[in-house]
Amino acid sequence: MRTTTTTTLAALLLVSLTACGTVDGRSTPGTTAPSPGDTRTAKQRFLVDAFSANFEGWTDYAPNEKDLAPFPTAWCKGLSEGRSIESLFDKKGADLYPSGSDWATIKSDANKLLLIAVDTHCPELHNQVTEELSKQSTP
């Protein structure tokens, strides 16, 4: 009984660790890549992953699905057009920083949210985004 429980816990821990990536050298929430039997849309996978991330800034006031849903498509479009992450988030640029009238996201979490969106909506841009994020964290 103990062996089975220990083995099961170890397997779950391993799965949870392999589901994580890194941004700025820190662990990020794993994203839900579509698997052959997964019938969820990119939007559904994004929302599940975004709300599962438990972002610090969303403790007291969090966005709802309607608040978050437009971001991935807009971010992917901007990135595909050659915009930088800074340009996407800048008020003088695309003004697509993830915040609302009663909720906000701290910068490191905004970067993680962007990466979740890229992984669910435009995974072909994943390397471009992780490379840019790694350059942002380099002094």
Has residue 16 got a pLDDT over 50?
no
Q: How much is the average pLDDT of 13-26?
A: 38
Give me the mean pLDDT over the 13-30 stretch: 40
DSSP secondary structure string for all residues of 52-98 = HT--GGGTTS---HHHHTHHHHHHHHHHHTT--HHHHH-TTTT---S
The model's pTM: 0.74
Return the domain boundaries, the chain: 22-137
Grade residue 33 by pLDDT with cuts at 50, 70 and 90.
Answer: low
pLDDT at 115 over 60: yes
pLDDT more than 70, % of the chain = 73
